A = this chain, B = another copy of it.
């Protein structure tokens, strides 16, 4: 957890602690962090996971990197510093959602190992389950999909700091789950995510 720089801040635990809240609500929260190149399928799989979980009456929320940039992180750009702050804020918000008993889905390029490790640490410090899912889609496959036409712009030099082209992607060392294009369609991959949650006792 980040050190509070502000003085005179007192922690309010509330009457119900998390175990009591989760127990009363019959819920478990967790953060599922999808990392990989643009076009690797993070959002597509996350949307399928959302559908499967909501159909099981499990409160679930997509903390899409793009969506958040329209609001909370609308003040941030794509420099290394701003990407780090983006990852930090998304980590903190996901941690709050998971603490609330919601499944927080985070499809976010998050190209730097240190940033993802920080996300894991933020969750660990709060004893909140965290899973790193690595969308291991090779650059040529992701680029051939180019769903937003961004690779084209990046190759033309019209986007700077573009992961995989002009900025590095540091692959996870020990992810909780690796999904590769050959493993099936997005829905099949989503079922693998649910299986992982089930094995950890996190499904309703």
Say whether B14 contacts A70, CB under 8 Å.
no
Return the chain B residue nearest A159 by Cβ.
B8
Question: Does A95 have its Cβ within 8 Å of any Cβ on chain B?
Answer: yes
State whether A47 and B15 are in contact (beta carbons under 8 Å apart), knowing that A6-B76, A77-B6, A153-B8 are contacts in the complex: yes
Tell me which of B12, B25, B47, B71 contacts A59 (CB under 8 A).
B25
Copies in the complex: 2
Say whether A8 contacts B148, CB under 8 Å.
yes
Question: Does A133 have its Cβ within 8 Å of any Cβ on chain B?
Answer: no
A153 CA to B43 CA, complexed, in Å: 50
Say whether B72 contacts A12, CB under 8 Å.
no
Say whether B74 contacts A43, CB under 8 Å.
no
Residues of A30-88 contacting chain B, CB below 8 A: 43, 47-48, 50-51, 54-55, 57, 59-64, 66-67, 69-72, 74-78
The secondary-structure label for the interface of chain A is: loop
A interface with B by C-beta (< 8 Å): 1-12, 14-16, 21, 24-27, 43, 47-48, 50-51, 54-55, 57, 59-64, 66-67, 69-72, 74-78, 89, 92-93, 95-97, 99-102, 122, 148, 150, 153, 159
5 closest residue pairs by CB, A with B: A2-B74, A61-B100, A72-B92, A71-B92, A4-B70
